[in-house]
Amino acid sequence: MKSISRLKKCVGAASMDSPPPLLLLHLLRPYSLNVIELGNGPERDPSTLINDFTRFCYQRDLPRAMTALHSMQNHKIWADSITYSELIKCCLARGAIEQGKVVHKHIFSDGYQPKTFLLNVLLNMYVKFNLLNEAQMLFVQMPQRNFVSWTTMIAAFSDADLNDKALEFLILMLREGARPNMFTYSSVLRACAGLPNLRQLHCGIIRTGLDSDVFVRSALIDNYSKWGELQNALCVFNEMVTADLVVWNSIIGGFAQNSDGDEALNLFIRMKRAGFLADQSTLTSALRACTGLALLELGRQLHVHVLKFHQDLILNNALLDMYCKCGSLEDANSVFSRMVDKDVISWSTMIIGMAQNGFSQQALKLFEAMKVSGTRPNYITVLGVLFACSHAGLVDNGQYYFRSMKKLFGIDPGREHYGCMVDLLGRAGKLDEAVQLIHEMEYEPDAVTWRTLLGACRVHRNMDLAVYAAKQILKLDPSDAGTYILLSNIYANSQRWEDVAEVRRTMRGRRVKKEPGCSWIEVNKQIHAFILGDYSHPQIDEISRELNQLIWRLKEMGYVPDTNFVLQDLEGEQKEDSLLYHSEKLAIVFGMMNLSLEKTIRIRKNLRICGDCHVFAKLLAKMECRSIVIRDPIRYHHFRDGVCSCGDYW
C-alpha cells in the first residue's frame, strides 16, 4: 500500500506534457497490463504477447490468435513450432484457408527457419484443403524433407487419382535416400495402374522387409484382387500366419468381389476356426458371397451375427441385397421395414429386388414412397424403375420415366437406361421403335444392347431383324456363344435345320463352345448341382424315376412338352426326351424328394429358363402344392398355385 501511495504522488507530480520518468515505468510494471514505451507508441511485452498467442492457439480461439499473430509479425516475434502446429490444426478444423496461408507467410518471413515438423503440418493442411498445387510448391521450398513429407504428398496424389504423380514421387523419394515406411507403401499401392507396377512395388516391399506389415499386406491383397489376380492375393495371404483381422477381411473381400463366393466362404470358415471374431467388414463380404451363390440358409445364419452389432447401414444394405437376390422378398421387406436409416442404396436395392422378383407394380409404388421420403433417386434407382416397367409390359410408364429422368432427377440417360428401353419396346413387340431408339442413342450400341434386341426377335419370331442383330453382336464379340445359340434357336423354331447346322459349323470353326445348362440347389447346407447330360449325381436314378412319374401325372392335367425349345432336328419322342432332362427339372425333383412340404424349393440356374421348363414348374407347383423359386441370369420366377410371378412375361 505504501508503494501505491508513492506511485500516486509521482503520478500527480508528473507533467502531462512530459514523458513519465523511467523510475515510474519501473514501479508501474507489476500493476499494469505490461505496457511499455517503445518507439512511437505503446506495445505489449514480447513474452506476454507470446504467452497470449500460445493460450489462444491451444484454446482454438482463431480470431484472437490471428490478431496476436499480426502483432508478433509486426515486431518480428516468433513462437515455437508446437504452438504454430496447434494454430494450423485450428485453421483446418474451421476450414480457414486464408488464415492458414497467413500462418504460412508468417513462419517464412524475416529469415525465420521453421522446423521440418512444422512444415509437414503445413503441408498436411494444404493437402486436406485439396490445394495440391500449394502443397507441391511448399514441398519444393522445404530445405529438408523426411519420410513424412514424402508420404504426405504420395498419399495426396493417390487420393486425387494422380497415379503417375504418386509413383513418380516414390521414385524421387528413393533417389533422395528417404526410406519408405508402411504408410508410404500403403498409399502408393492405391495408385497402381496395372500389374507391372504392382509387381515392381511388391518386390520393393519385400526388399525393405515391410511385407509382414499388416497394412502393407492388406493393401497388396486388395490390389491383386482388384486386378483379378486372386491366386497372387492368396499367396500373399498364405506367406505367413495371419494374426490380424484386417488381412482376413482383405482376402475374404477380394474373393467375394471377384464372384468367387465358394473360396470367400471357405476363407470365412478358416477365419472363424482360427479364433477371429467377424466384424462388419467381414460379414459384408460373407453376405456378398452368399448373394452370388444364392445361399439363402447360410445368409440367414450370417444375419444372426449381424444382429450382434448396432444398426449399421452398410450391413443392412448387404442383407437387403442378399435376401432380394436369393428370392426371399419376405425377409428383405422385414429388414427394410426395421431399418432406422435408409439411403438411396437401400431404396434402390428394394426397388430392383421387387422388379427382378416379378413384383413390378410394388416396385413402382415403392419408388413413389422413396420420393415422398425425400431421398433423391440416382442412376441405379431409375434403372430399377425402367427394369420394373420392362418386365411388366408398362410401356407408357417406362417411356415417361425415360424421357423425364433428366428434368425430374437431373440424371442423364446412360447406356443401361437405353438398354432397358430397348428391352421394354422389344418385349412389347415394338421392334421398329426399338431399332430406332438404338440408332438415336447418344452412345455407340454395345453387344448387350444388340443381344437385348435379338432376344425380342426370338420371342416375336422376326427372322430378318434377328439375323441383323446377331451380325452386329458378332462384329463386337465374335466368340459370344450365347448369340450363336440364340440364333440357332430362332432357326430351329422355324424348322430351318440347314441354317442351324451352319451356325453350329461356324461355332466349331471359331472354337466357340456352348455353356451347358446347370442348376443347383441347397439342401441340408450342401450344394447339389445338375448339368444337362451329366448323370454323376448319386441319386440320379431315383430322380429320373420320380421325374418320369411326375411327367405322366402332369400330362393327365394337360401338360404337353413344348418341343419348340429343342434345338436339334429330332423326331417325335426324341424331342420330348431331350426336354426331359433339362437341369432345372432335375433340381426341382431332387428338392421335392429331400425338402419338406412347407419348404420352398429354391433353384439357381446359369442360363435363361426355357418355356417348357417354365410350364413344367407352374403345373408342378399347383399339382404338388409346392412353392418353387427359380433364379436365372435375368430374373426370378416364383411359382405357386399354377402361377408365376413374372406373369408369363419374361
Query: How is residue 517 annotated by DSSP?
Result: P
Instruction: Give the pLDDT confidence score for residue 485 in this predicted structure.
Output: 82
What is the tens place of the pLDDT at every residue in 311-338?
Answer: 789 999 999 999 999 989 999 999 999 9
The one-letter code for the residue type at 179 is: R
Can you give the pLDDT at residue 566? 52
Over residues 72-126, the pLDDT tens digits come to 888 888 888 999 999 999 999 999 999 999 999 998 887 778 899 999 999 999 9
Whether 618 shows a pLDDT value over 90: the answer reads yes
pLDDT at 17: 40
Q: Which residue has the cell 444372426?
A: 304
Above 70 in pLDDT, residue 150? yes
pLDDT, position 564: 57
pLDDT tens track for 465-474 = 998 999 999 9
For 555-624, the DSSP string reads: HHTT----GGG--S---HHHHHHHHHT-HHHHHHHHHHHHS-TTSPEEEEESSPPPHHHHHHHHHHHHHT
**CATH 1.25.40.10 domain locations along the chain:** 426-509
pLDDT number for residue 387: 94
According to CATH, what is the number of the domain 426-509?
Answer: 1.25.40.10
Please compute the mean of the pLDDT values over residues 180-202 and round it to a whole number: 83
**Least confident window among 180-189, 400-409, 443-452:** 180-189
Q: Which of residues 492 and 617 earns the better pLDDT score?
A: 617
The stretch 122-143 carries a mean pLDDT of 92
32-77 pLDDT, tens digit per residue, is 333 333 333 345 577 888 898 999 999 989 999 999 999 988 888 8
315 or 208, which is more confident: 315
The band of 200, judged by pLDDT with boundaries at 50, 70 and 90, is confident
- Cα distance between residue 64 and residue 56, in whole Å: 6
pLDDT of residue 578 exceeding 60, the answer is no
Q: Decide: 458 and 486 in contact? Cβ < 8 Å.
A: yes
| 580 compared with 62, residue with greater pLDDT | 62
- Give the per-residue pLDDT at 426: 94
Phi then psi for residue 522, to 5 deg, are -100, 120
Mean pLDDT score, 357-371: 94
Q: Which of 581, 510, 505 is nearest to 543 (CA)?
A: 581
What value does the mean pLDDT take over residues 210-232? 88
- Tens digit of pLDDT for each residue in 177-186? 888 888 888 8
3-class secondary-structure state, position 61: coil
Query: How high is the mean pLDDT of the chain?
Result: 86
Question: Would you place residue 14 in the very low, low, confident or very high pLDDT band (cuts 50, 70, 90)?
Answer: very low
Is pTM, for the whole model, over 0.95? no
What pLDDT, on a 0 to 100 scale, did the predictor assign at position 525?
79
- Torsion-angle region of residue 523: left (phi > 0), alpha (psi -120 to 50) or beta? beta
